[in-house]
């Protein structure tokens, strides 16, 4: 139930649908890992290990305690004792027997202290101010969406978060990012301890990205490919935006093949990013927008990632599928079924079928085009 590690609480999200289906995000119930800021928290025992010798624990030291769904009062009491919050589980249970409010303690992450009176523990756990804020960042969020969702979940002002994001010195970004946080605010589930600053919350997201980058050996594998890690992150964001996870590696291959052949990418996701829209159906005027992100106009990649990709998309950008595809069309926006080809005539046929099936006779189509 409780565990002390040197970060904010943060869990990765399961793979999500792509950027074009913002209402199809699925956030599964996640096991929480309690984390706190380094250097300020006492090391405590974890559930499943022998109870700590709580008589030696000084009072008033902060403790972050996780209550899982389905935990009983007995389980809670044991974890409180193990973390040094109470001197004995039986003392807490005795207090709970006298206070029917104890049954209203629900799952969540609580900020408590060591050596508390059992009755005070009940009061604290029923006080909303003691509960950490749960922040869920789905894969594929644009940076402005990340700011909005973070502000709503934590109560921090959007302006504070934006100020941190505009100030590279306040963020521990990798040197190759050159002060650019786009794409590095990692999609995950975070429990934000009350009182955390905007800088600390942003740092938690970037730290979580660092863990994911290490897990996929981003820098080493990028170097092996002859590419910059930030370039890989841009590709990963395009992959995340364009298709369902099962097609990530194929789209990565299309991107690299088109770049190698000097072809424009012509991804509608980049136009959507430039216009802050999210649609399959882009008009000719939209396609012609003057933006460094519009890959129907520019050569090569956009200047930054267009979203925060998940670990699966990053790995796909590092490990593209083998194939000679140049074109793809998402023929069903609901299921995100996507077809790939290196034949331009076949591509045009699929485009026409999509137009006829979805009544978008004048609309361009998802995927690369010539």
Say what the pTM is. Answer: 0.76
Mean pLDDT of 245-256: 98
Number of domains making up the chain: 2
Instruction: Identify the residue with better confidence: 4 or 275.
Output: 275
Q: Would the pLDDT of 28 be above 80?
A: no
Q: Would the pLDDT of 26 be above 80?
A: no
Domain termination residue (choose one: 85, 112, 130): 130
With respect to residue 186, please indicate whether it lies within any of the assigned structural domains. Answer: no
Longest dimension (CA), the chain: 77
**From edge to edge, which strands make up the β-sheet containing 9-12?**
9-12, 188-192, 133-136
Domain termination residue (choose one: 112, 130, 148): 130
Q: Would the pLDDT of 17 be above 80?
A: no
What pLDDT is recorded for position 141? 98
Domain termination residue (choose one: 130, 160, 183): 130
What are 335-356's pLDDT values in tens digits? 889 999 999 999 999 988 887 7
What pLDDT is recorded for position 162? 97
Do 125 and 230 sit in the same domain of this protein? no
Do 120 and 243 sit in the same domain of this protein? no
With respect to residue 367, please indicate whether it lies within any of the assigned structural domains. Answer: no
Q: Would the pLDDT of 51 be above 80?
A: no
What are 194-243's pLDDT values in tens digits? 889 999 999 999 999 999 999 999 999 999 999 999 999 999 999 999 99
> How many beta carbons lie within 10 A of that of residue 106, not counting itself?
11
With respect to residue 15, please indicate whether it lies within any of the assigned structural domains. Answer: no
Mean pLDDT of 69-92: 96
d(CA 1, CA 346): 56
With respect to residue 117, please indicate whether it lies within any of the assigned structural domains. Answer: yes
What pLDDT is recorded for position 13? 53
Helices 218-225 and 229-242 cross at an angle (nearest 10°) of 100
Instruction: Identify the residue with better confidence: 4 or 249.
Output: 249
Token look-up 């590690």 returns: 5
Mean pLDDT of 320-326: 98
Q: Which residues constitute the domain of residue 307?
A: 226-358
Query: Which candidate, 237, 221, 231, places its Cα nearest to that of 185?
Result: 237
Comparing 87-91, 288-292, 366-370, the range with the smallest average pLDDT is 366-370
d(CA 109, CA 156): 19
> Could you tell me if residue 178 is left (phi over 0), alpha (psi between -120 and 50 degrees) or otherwise beta?
left
Mean pLDDT of 265-284: 93
Instruction: Identify the residue with better confidence: 36 or 143.
Output: 143
Q: Would the pLDDT of 364 be above 70?
A: no
What pLDDT is recorded for position 40? 33
With respect to residue 12, please indicate whether it lies within any of the assigned structural domains. Answer: no
Mean pLDDT of 59-74: 91
d(CA 102, CA 184): 41
User: Cβ distance 316 to 255 under 8 Å?
Assistant: no
Instruction: Identify the residue with better confidence: 46 or 329.
Output: 329
With respect to residue 155, please indicate whether it lies within any of the assigned structural domains. Answer: no
Token look-up 């756990």 returns: 125
Tokens standing for 227? Answer: 């590419």
What are 87-137's pLDDT values in tens digits? 999 999 999 999 999 999 998 889 999 999 999 999 999 998 888 888 999
Q: Would the pLDDT of 14 be above 70?
A: no
With respect to residue 288, please indicate whether it lies within any of the assigned structural domains. Answer: yes
What pLDDT is recorded for position 11? 54
With respect to residue 154, please indicate whether it lies within any of the assigned structural domains. Answer: no
């Amino acid at each position: 139930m409780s565990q002390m590690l040197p970060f904010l609480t943060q869990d990765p999200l399961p793979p999500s649908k792509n950027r074009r289906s913002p209402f199809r995000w699925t956030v599964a119930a996640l096991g929480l890992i309690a984390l706190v800021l380094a250097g300020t928290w006492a090391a405590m025992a974890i559930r499943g290990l022998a109870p700590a010798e709580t008589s030696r624990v000084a009072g008033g030291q902060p403790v972050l305690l996780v209550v899982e769904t389905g935990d009983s009062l007995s389980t809670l009491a044991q974890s409180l004792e193990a973390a040094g919050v109470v001197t004995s589980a039986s003392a807490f249970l005795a207090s709970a027997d006298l206070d029917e409010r104890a049954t209203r303690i629900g799952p969540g992450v609580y900020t408590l202290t060591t050596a508390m009176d059992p009755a005070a523990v009940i009061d604290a756990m029923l006080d909303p101010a003691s509960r950490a804020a749960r922040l869920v960042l789905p894969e594929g969020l644009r940076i402005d969406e990340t700011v909005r969702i973070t502000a709503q979940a934590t109560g921090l002002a959007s302006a504070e978060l934006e100020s941190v994001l505009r100030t590279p010195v306040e963020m521990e970004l990798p040197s190759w990012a050159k002060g650019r946080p786009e794409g590095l605010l990692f999609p995950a589930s975070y429990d934000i301890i009350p009182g955390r600053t905007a800088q600390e919350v942003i740092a938690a997201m970037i730290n979580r990205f660092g863990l994911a980058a290490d897990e996929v050996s981003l820098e080493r594998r990028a170097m092996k490919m002859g590419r910059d890690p930030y370039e890989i992150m841009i590709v990963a964001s395009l992959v995340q935006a364009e298709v369902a996870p099962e097609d990530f590696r194929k789209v990565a291959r299309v991107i690299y093949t088109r770049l190698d052949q000097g072809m424009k990418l012509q991804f509608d996701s980049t136009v959507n990013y430039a216009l802050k829209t999210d649609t399959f159906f882009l008009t000719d005027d939209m396609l012609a927008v003057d933006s460094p992100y519009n890959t129907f106009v520019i050569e090569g990649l956009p200047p930054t990632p267009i979203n925060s990709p998940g670990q699966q998309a990053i790995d796909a950008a590092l490990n593209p599928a083998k194939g000679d595809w140049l074109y793809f069309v998402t023929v069903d926006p609901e299921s995100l079924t996507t077809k790939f080809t290196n034949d331009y005539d076949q591509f045009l046929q699929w485009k026409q079928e999509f137009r006829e099936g979805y009544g978008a006779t004048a609309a361009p189509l998802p995927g690369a085009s010539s």
